[in-house]
Amino acid sequence: MLFDLDGTLIDSVYQHVLAWREALAGVGIDLSVWRIHRRIGMSGGLFVNALLRETGRVLGPEQIRDLQEAHVRHYLEQLARVKPLPGARRLLRRLTDLGVPWAIATSGNRASALAGLDVLGLAPEVVVTREEVEHAKPDPDLFLAAAARLDVDIAESVVIGDSVWDLLAAQRARALGVGLLSGGYGREELERAGAYRVYEDPADLERHLDELGLRADPFPSGS
């Protein structure tokens, strides 16, 4: 199982949204908050391109880098308010107990991602971040790299994410996509982006693991 991080395991999407809003306002770009929300989870480069297209502004590579750094700074300032989503830690523990390999793949950069893992009490080696692949979501690279790290076939993997970018990346990777409502997208949007099933949050997913055909490994590697 390959998880997205923000909005999927930790309740951080709205903080990211408002951090982007602050960063954009800092360079004189006033953008409606919902437009920022709808782009969260995609590659930062694509994100900035998409927003600039909507505003008609042009920024140079240096200004774009400054903008991304300002976003990370504003996000980390709000980190004290970021909590694990209900059931996230329990779900990951249960997968480990069942012998199901799992990893986390995020379009976010390493600094934000490590801060998020800290909220979950997880070690850095479970995550693949933006810096480790050529293209972030909706390209499939992050999930392909996460599957490779676990030494599992991507076509046998389930991708769990809260945004349409996760589900589009899952389709491009030929993995099965499962949506969570906990990032603020609606059920229908996630289904239309290819979600096989949609659950509320990690706790709700754990209650329905049987719907994904997940069975206990009869010979878990730890036993």
Give how far Cα 149 sits from Cα of 84, 154, 168, 196, 217, Å: 24, 11, 21, 24, 20
User: Quick check: 207 binds a copy of itself (CB under 8 A)?
Assistant: no
Tell the smallest beta-carbon distance from residue 52 to a copy of itself (Å): 16
Applying the rule CB under 8 A, the residues between 170 and 189 that interact with a copy of itself are 181-189
User: Quick check: 76 binds a copy of itself (CB under 8 A)?
Assistant: no
DSSP per residue, the chain: -EE-SBTTTBS-HHHHHHHHHHHHHHTT----HHHHHTTTTS-HHHHHHHHHHHHT----HHHHHHHHHHHHHHHHHTGGG--BPTTHHHHHHHHHHHT---EEE-SS-HHHHHHHHHHHT--GGGEE-GGGSSS-TTSSHHHHHHHHHHT--GGG-EEEESSHHHHHHHHHHTPEEEEEGGGS--HHHHHHTT-SEEESSHHHHHHTGGGGT----SS-TT-
Rounded CA gap, 137 and 135, in Å? 7
Task: Write the binding mask 34 to 53 for a copy of itself: x where contact by CB under 8 A, - elsewhere.
Answer: x--x----------------
When the beta carbons of 7 and 194 are compared against a copy of itself, the nearer one is 7
User: Quick check: 128 binds a copy of itself (CB under 8 A)?
Assistant: no
When the beta carbons of 117 and 180 are compared against a copy of itself, the nearer one is 180
Which residue in 1, 5, 17, 176 binds a copy of itself (CB under 8 A)?
Answer: 17
User: Quick check: 206 binds a copy of itself (CB under 8 A)?
Assistant: no
User: Quick check: 157 binds a copy of itself (CB under 8 A)?
Assistant: no
User: Quick check: 4 binds a copy of itself (CB under 8 A)?
Assistant: no
User: Quick check: 201 binds a copy of itself (CB under 8 A)?
Assistant: yes
User: Quick check: 63 binds a copy of itself (CB under 8 A)?
Assistant: no
When the beta carbons of 139 and 185 are compared against a copy of itself, the nearer one is 185
User: Quick check: 14 binds a copy of itself (CB under 8 A)?
Assistant: yes
Tell the smallest beta-carbon distance from residue 150 to a copy of itself (Å): 28
Q: Which stretch binds a copy of itself (CB under 8 A): 7-15, 98-106, 108-116, 145-153?
A: 7-15
When the beta carbons of 7 and 108 are compared against a copy of itself, the nearer one is 7
